[in-house]
Amino acid sequence: MAYLLRFLILLMVSGICLTTAVALGWAEVGQAHIQLSIVTFLYTIFAQAFVMFYFIGVSRLMTNVYNVLHSKSNLGELFDNPPEDLEPYKKKAIKFVQDSDRCKRQTIPWTMLMLILGSIAFLLGGAHDTNLVSKVVHSGVVYGFMVAMFIGFVRQWYYLKISHVSLRKVKALFEIPDGQM
């Protein structure tokens, strides 16, 4: 899943860069940057929603594993034959919860900032098209969006790897099938 999400955000950055290149006159693709921006921003919302829910889901899974180990009530969800000593599992579960929470905290604010600045830039683009705001205002917000997008992209790329590795370790530790979360 992490590889799919990496591909989605790479495609998102490519689309934003293409739209910006068309707007600045650096590239010609047969469409104006306004038409490209509609498709690109809708795709950005789609990709960022996927990334955000991936981190939320991984964090929730890790928290559920931790809660099951500490409550000892549903150990059958994690083990076929629950061991007597759960301490080694509890120590690893705490680390997994901490890692997944850190990944979530480091990426979701950038996702939200991207979506907010992108929405404002999109709306200001329409306002510029109808001569309600100047080009400088629209361009400034777009540049702010792009900075947030590039920072968020790097963070998401890095933390997708960490979440993917943690998820693999949890699934291997408790022998959870790959298709199950």
Please report the pLDDT score of residue 181 as a whole number.
Answer: 60
Q: Which two tokens stand for residue 10?
A: 């790479």
This prediction's pTM: 0.86
Please report the pLDDT score of residue 122 as a whole number.
Answer: 92
pLDDT in tens, 120-133: 999 999 999 899 99
Tell me what the pLDDT averaged over the chain comes to.
90
| Residue 70 burial (CB count, 10 A) | 12
Q: Which two tokens stand for residue 133?
A: 């705001």
The position carrying tokens 């490209």 is 36
Domain spans of the chain, in order of start:
2-26+38-72+83-174
Task: Using a pLDDT cut of 70, give the percent of the chain over it.
Answer: 98
Task: Flag whether pLDDT at 84 surpasses 90.
Answer: no
Task: Using a pLDDT cut of 90, give the percent of the chain over it.
Answer: 68
